[in-house]
Amino acid sequence: GDSVTQMEGPVTLSEEAFLTINCTYTATGYPSLFWYVQYPGEGLQLLLKATKADDKGSNKGFEATYRKETTSFHLEKGSVQVSDSAVYFCALRGPDKLVFGAGTILRVKS
């Protein structure tokens, strides 16, 4: 069945460091791919998405490119801030629901 695998956390970075959170997927065909973010004490919210191969989703300085050759959708940000500390979830669009990865905790130190 469809599945999403994310790098294990927590990921701890200093402010202004470069961020990469790896995400790979297994699915039939080429599903839409997403990153959701959960800030402390808040519900998950959509961060960005890509609907087809080679698409790049971007929002709030974060980017992810849909790579069908490597079945990946890695999340990147050039310069993280303390306010980016959160849990990040990679997801794919399954036949009738979104399938999420385990989540990666990001901690940014000032």
Scanning residues 48 to 87, which ones bind other proteins (CB under 8 A)?
A: 49
Q: Taking the complex as a whole, how short is the minimal distance between the CB of residue 79 and other proteins, in angstroms? A: 27
**10 interacts with other proteins by CB under 8 A:** no
Q: Taking the complex as a whole, how short is the minimal distance between the CB of residue 82 and other proteins, in angstroms? A: 21
Q: How far apart are CA 26 and CA 6, in angstroms?
A: 12
Q: Taking the complex as a whole, how short is the minimal distance between the CB of residue 44 and other proteins, in angstroms? A: 4
Pick the closest to residue 89 from 1, 4, 11, 2 (CA basis).
Answer: 4
Q: Yes or no: say if 48 and 35 are a contact pair by the CB < 8 Å rule.
A: yes
Binds other proteins (CB under 8 A): choice among 46, 61, 68, 109: 46
Binds other proteins (CB under 8 A): choice among 98, 106, 108, 109: 98
Pick the closest to residue 50 from 70, 69, 75, 26 (CA basis).
Answer: 75
**Which of 17, 105 has the CB closer to other proteins?**
105
Tokens describing residue 57: 């989703």
Q: Which stretch binds other proteins (CB under 8 A): 16-24, 30-38, 60-68, 69-77?
A: 30-38
Q: Yes or no: say if 33 and 24 are a contact pair by the CB < 8 Å rule.
A: no
